[in-house]
Amino acid sequence: MTTSRRHRVGYAPGAYDLFHIGHLNILRHARSQCDYLVAGVVSDEMAERAKGRRPMIPLVERLEIVRSVKYVDAAFVETVPDKVETWKQVRFDVLFKGDDWRGTAKGDKLEQDFAAVGVEIVYFPYTVHTSSTQLRRALDVLAEPEGSFGPAAFGPDAQFNAGLRSIPGTTS
């Protein structure tokens, strides 16, 4: 007697801007819980709408980076804010998110919307010590022009150290 196990498709959406260890952790953990992993890379416009800023890395480059990660079987450009609309195109069985979404209004809505279509939501630990937002802040500090009243006014070492101090778990 043979038993056929259902092929489980996972979906891991994100901006994947300034690709870092947190992104890699999500993709690695996601792939361990499905047979086929699709990474949803949000478009520049969608990322700007959600975060108020365009990604630093353009979509075509973010897509290529994510597509090249060994845990990812396919990459999909996400162009609509409604994840259920994305599901209608990709047809995944499980959606992976960072646990910073758990218990939030956005996370609760996601769970309700996907319960209606039989998609499981799995949360993974958020990598607290690294995020694209923190990396962007550090880069912004480094990019301040000389002579400004920010950390750049005190020279390159002050710029670098100030950027590091804004990243939890680092010291100058």
Q: What does the DSSP 8-state code read for residue 36?
A: E
- DSSP-assigned letters across all residues of 55-118: -SS-HHHHHHHHHTSTT-SEEEEE--S-HHHHHHHH--SEEEEETTSTTSHHHHHHHHHHHTTT
Q: Say what percent of the chain tops pLDDT 70.
A: 70
Long-range contacts of 140-149 (CB under 8 A, 24+ apart): 141/166
> Could you tell me the pTM of the whole model?
0.74
Using alpha carbons, select from 59, 73, 70, 52 the residue that is nearest to residue 14: 59
**pLDDT value of position 136:** 65
Average pLDDT, the chain: 82
Q: Is the pLDDT of residue 163 over 50?
A: no
**pLDDT value of position 52:** 87
Predicted confidence band at 5 (pLDDT cuts at 50, 70, 90)? Answer: low
Tokens 């923190």, located at residue: 134
Average of pLDDT values for 46-59? 90
Q: CA-to-CA distance for 44 and 49, rounded, in angstroms?
A: 9
Q: Do the bridges between strand 120-124 and strand 94-98 make them parallel or antiparallel, or are there none, so unpaired?
A: parallel
* Token code pair at residue 133: 């937002």
**pLDDT value of position 18:** 87
Q: CA-to-CA distance for 118 and 93, rounded, in angstroms?
A: 7
* Token code pair at residue 2: 């043979």
**pLDDT value of position 99:** 86
- Residue 4 burial class via C-beta count within 10 angstroms: exposed 0-12, middle 13-18, buried 19 and up: exposed
